[in-house]
């Protein structure tokens, strides 16, 4: 596409948006509303995945060694566990480490554990983090087969709940985004249809003098993209303002989740902007293509 043609197409697209003022504003407002809802689901989805990662870090498996395990057996068991594909990390805890941790947990009642240094009731263990929570059951089964491992403790219920909620949010977000995208496409298609009707005489003249089909089509395609991107950018601004306000409110009032944190705006703004502009452009182009195919005989 020549630069001069590109300028002409964009210029004609802007003129058409202005000429069809009320319908263009209606289309932009529709895209804006759809993108705000879509953006809310996108922000929720991003943070749900982020929180799921935090939970995954906390959903660790504890493997307890047999009481009579030697240092060599413990070292061998650690090597075997680290060799399991789905194991991300293995942190060893000696009997002494566990006893000291128990003292800290007991606080003022720590004296109740005095005298257990020689006859330590705890066992050596490993704290194991996984790469993929969905494979936890198979990984636990492999750990149980490691020589010297007497017991494996896990939070399978918590793991399953995290996976179920994450998958539900992802599925819901996909279908909501798809539905809103389709609605926006049809609204933009109606706007382009009016633009085609308003320029029908000009289009006939252009066809008569030999203008190519795509030379006639491109201004309408750019018009749809302008409408889609405009609505998306406004929605991005509103979502950003709301998200920054939410984070500020949480920080200012001291309302914070003890276990989990939300993504900072600096971490997600570029993802939101690229997603909004990209989706807005695709929706606009799709709406234009649908209308051109039905109402422009070129």
The DSSP-derived string for 264-288 is PHHHHHHHHHHHHHHHHHHHHHHHH
- CATH architecture of the domain 60-154 equals 2-Layer Sandwich (3.30)
Mean of pLDDT values over 256-277 = 82
CB 112 within 8 A of CB 47: no
Which of 111-115, 129-133, 161-165 is the least confident region? Answer: 111-115
Q: Please list the helix, strand and coil fractions of the chain in percent, rounded to the nearest 5, in that order.
A: 75, 10, 20
Provide the pLDDT for residue 243: 92
pLDDT band for 82, please (50, 70, 90 cuts).
Answer: very high
pLDDT digits (tens, 9 = 90+) for 235-254: 999 999 999 998 888 777 66
pLDDT of residue 132 exceeding 70, the answer is yes
Among candidate residues 47, 261, 273, the one with its CA nearest the CA of residue 173: 47
34 secondary structure, DSSP code: H
Q: Which residue has the tokens 């030999």?
A: 210
248: Cβ–Cβ under 8 A, 6 or more apart, which residues?
none
pLDDT band for 273, please (50, 70, 90 cuts).
Answer: very high
Provide the pLDDT for residue 165: 77
Provide the pLDDT for residue 84: 93
For residues 10, 14, 15, 20, the Cα torsion angle rounded to the nearest 10 degrees is 140
214: Cβ–Cβ under 8 A, 6 or more apart, which residues?
none
Q: What are phi and psi of 199, to 5 degrees?
A: -110, 20
pLDDT of residue 257 exceeding 60, the answer is no
Provide the pLDDT for residue 18: 82
Mean of pLDDT values over 81-95 = 90
In the chain, what are the domain boundaries? Answer: 3-55+160-295, 60-154
pLDDT of residue 270 exceeding 80, the answer is yes
pLDDT digits (tens, 9 = 90+) for 174-216: 788 788 778 877 777 777 777 677 667 776 777 777 777 777 7
For 291, the token pair is: 């209308």
Provide the pLDDT for residue 126: 92
Provide the pLDDT for residue 80: 94
Provide the pLDDT for residue 20: 72
Rounded to two decimals, the pTM is 0.65
For residues 173, 179, 181, 184, the Cα torsion angle rounded to the nearest 10 degrees is -140
CB 126 within 8 A of CB 92: yes
Among candidate residues 151, 92, 95, 150, the one with its CA nearest the CA of residue 120: 95
Provide the pLDDT for residue 85: 92
pLDDT band for 255, please (50, 70, 90 cuts).
Answer: low
More confident residue, 285 or 113: 285
């Amino acid at each position: 596409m020549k630069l001069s043609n590109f300028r002409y197409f964009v210029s004609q697209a802007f003129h058409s948006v202005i000429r069809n003022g009320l319908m263009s504003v209606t289309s932009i407002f529709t895209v804006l509303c759809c993108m705000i809802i879509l953006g809310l689901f996108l922000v929720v989805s991003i943070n749900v995945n982020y929180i799921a990662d935090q939970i995954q870090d906390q959903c660790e498996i504890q493997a307890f060694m047999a009481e009579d395990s030697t240092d060599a057996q413990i070292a061998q068991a650690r090597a075997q566990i680290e060799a399991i594909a789905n194991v991300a990390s293995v942190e060893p805890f000696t009997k002494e480490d566990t006893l000291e941790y128990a003292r800290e947990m007991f606080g003022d009642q720590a004296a109740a554990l005095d005298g257990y240094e020689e006859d330590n009731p705890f066992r050596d263990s490993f704290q194991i983090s996984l790469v993929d929570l969905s494979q936890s059951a198979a990984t636990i089964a492999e750990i149980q087969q490691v020589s010297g491992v007497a017991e494996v403790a896990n939070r399978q219920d918590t793991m399953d709940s995290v996976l179920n909620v994450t998958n539900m949010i992802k599925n819901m977000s996909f279908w909501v985004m798809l539905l809103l995208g389709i609605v926006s496409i049809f609204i933009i298609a109606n706007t382009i249809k009016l633009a085609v009707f308003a320029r029908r005489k000009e289009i006939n003249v252009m066809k008569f003098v030999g203008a190519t089909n795509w030379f006639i089509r491109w201004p309408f395609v750019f018009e749809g993209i302008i409408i889609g991107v405009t609505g998306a950018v406004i929605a991005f601004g509103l979502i950003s303002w709301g998200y920054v306000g939410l984070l500020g409110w949480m920080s200012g009032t001291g309302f914070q989740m003890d276990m989990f944190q939300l993504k900072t705006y600096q971490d997600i703004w570029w993802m939101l902007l690229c997603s909004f502009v990209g989706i807005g452009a695709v929706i606009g182009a799709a709406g234009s293509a649908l209308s051109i195919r039905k109402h422009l005989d070129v």
